[in-house]
C-alpha cells in the first residue's frame, strides 16, 4: 500500500495537480488537509473517474479533510472520540459537537485505519488557540492509546499536517522560532507523547538529519532558499510500522506555478 498525506491548501485550486500526483506516484490512499470547501463543493466526480472513493468533511471555506482511496473506504468517522472544538466568539476550546471543526476524518482502507488530521495551528503562545491545540493533541493521543490497548495488532496511520516541528532538525532556523508556536516545548512534548504511546514516525529512518522539510512559506523565497519546516507526518502503529518499505517527501509538488505550500509525504507498506 502506498499511503500519502498532503496539505493541499484548496482542493479546487489544485485538483489537476492532485490527479496527476495520484497517477505519477501510484498512490493507493491519499489523506488531504485544508481542502477549503464544503462537502457539496468537493469534486467527487473527478476522483470517481480516476477509480477512487472519497470521504470528505468540510463545513465552510476553512480547514477541511478528506481521504481518497482505491483499496476500499469503510467505517467513516467525522471526528475522533472527545475531539475538542473551538468557539471563536468565546475564544476557548470545548468538547461539544456543534463547534467541532473539520479537522479529523477516519476511514478503513485496505485493512489500515487511516486518520487524516489537520492539527490546529496555535497562532501564538498566549492565544486561546494554542491551548486548544494542546487539548486537541491530548485528546487524540488518548484515543490512539485506547485503540492500541484494545487491539495491539491494529494497523493505524495518524497522518496529516501536525503544525509541529518536533526537533530542531525539523526547522531551518530554530532561533527564529523561540517563544513562537510549532517549536515550543509543550507542543514538542505533545508530539513525543504519540511516539511514547507506540506510534512511529515512519519517514525519519529514511531521512535522518536536518534539511528534510514538508512546508515552505510562500513569502521571502522560502522554498528556493531551502528555508522550510517538517510539520507533516505519517505516524504508524507498531504493527503497521514494521511493514514500512520506504518513506519520503515528494518535493516536486512544491515546485512550479500553483503549488501548495506543503509537499506530500509518502510511505509504502507491505500490508
Q: Give the residue numbers of the binding site for Mg(2+).
A: 7, 34, 161, 163, 261-262
Residue numbers belonging to the annotated binding site: 7, 34, 161, 163, 261-262
CA distances, 203 to each of 3, 26, 102, 140, 208 (Å)? 12, 18, 26, 21, 8
Q: Cα–Cα distance between 211 and 157 in angstroms, integer?
A: 24
Active site residues: 118, 161, 262
Amino acid at each position: 500500500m502506498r499511503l500519502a498525506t498532503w496539505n493541499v491548501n484548496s482542493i479546487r485550486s489544485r485538483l489537476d495537480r492532485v490527479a496527476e500526483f495520484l497517477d505519477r506516484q501510484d498512490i493507493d490512499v491519499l489523506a488531504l488537509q485544508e481542502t477549503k470547501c464544503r462537502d457539496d463543493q468537493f469534486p467527487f466526480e473527478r476522483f470517481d473517474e480516476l477509480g477512487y472513493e472519497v470521504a470528505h468533511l468540510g463545513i465552510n471555506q476553512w480547514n477541511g479533510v478528506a481521504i481518497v482511496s482505491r483499496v476500499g473506504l469503510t467505517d467513516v468517522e467525522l471526528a475522533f472520540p472527545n475531539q475538542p472544538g473551538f468557539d471563536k466568539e468565546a475564544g476557548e476550546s470545548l468538547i461539544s459537537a456543534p463547534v467541532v471543526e473539520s479537522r479529523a476524518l477516519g476511514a478503513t482502507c485496505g485493512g489500515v485505519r487511516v486518520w487524516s488530521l489537520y492539527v490546529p495551528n496555535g497562532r501564538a503562545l498566549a492565544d486561546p488557540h494554542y491551548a486548544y491545540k494542546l487539548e486537541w493533541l491530548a485528546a487524540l493521543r488518548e484515543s490512539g492509546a485506547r485503540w492500541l490497548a484494545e487491539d495491539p495488532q491494529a494497523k493505524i496511520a495518524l497522518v496529516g499536517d501536525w503544525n509541529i516541528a518536533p526537533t530542531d532538525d525539523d526547522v531551518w532556523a530554530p532561533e527564529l522560532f523561540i517563544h513562537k508556536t510549532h517549536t515550543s516545548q509543550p507542543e514538542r512534548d505533545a508530539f513525543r507523547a504519540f511516539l511514547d504511546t507506540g506510534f512511529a514516525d515512519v519517514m525519519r529512518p529514511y531521512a535522518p538529519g536536518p534539511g528534510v522539510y514538508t512546508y515552505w512559506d510562500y513569502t521571502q523565497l522560502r522554498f528556493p532558499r531551502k528555508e522550510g519546516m517538517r510539520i507533516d507526518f505519517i505516524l504508524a502503529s507498531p504493527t503497521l510500522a514494521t511493514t514500512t518499505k520506504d518513506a519520503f517527501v515528494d518535493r516536486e509538488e512544491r515546485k512550479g506555478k500553483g503549488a501548495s505550500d506543503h509537499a506530500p509525504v509518502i510511505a509504502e507498506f507491505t500490508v
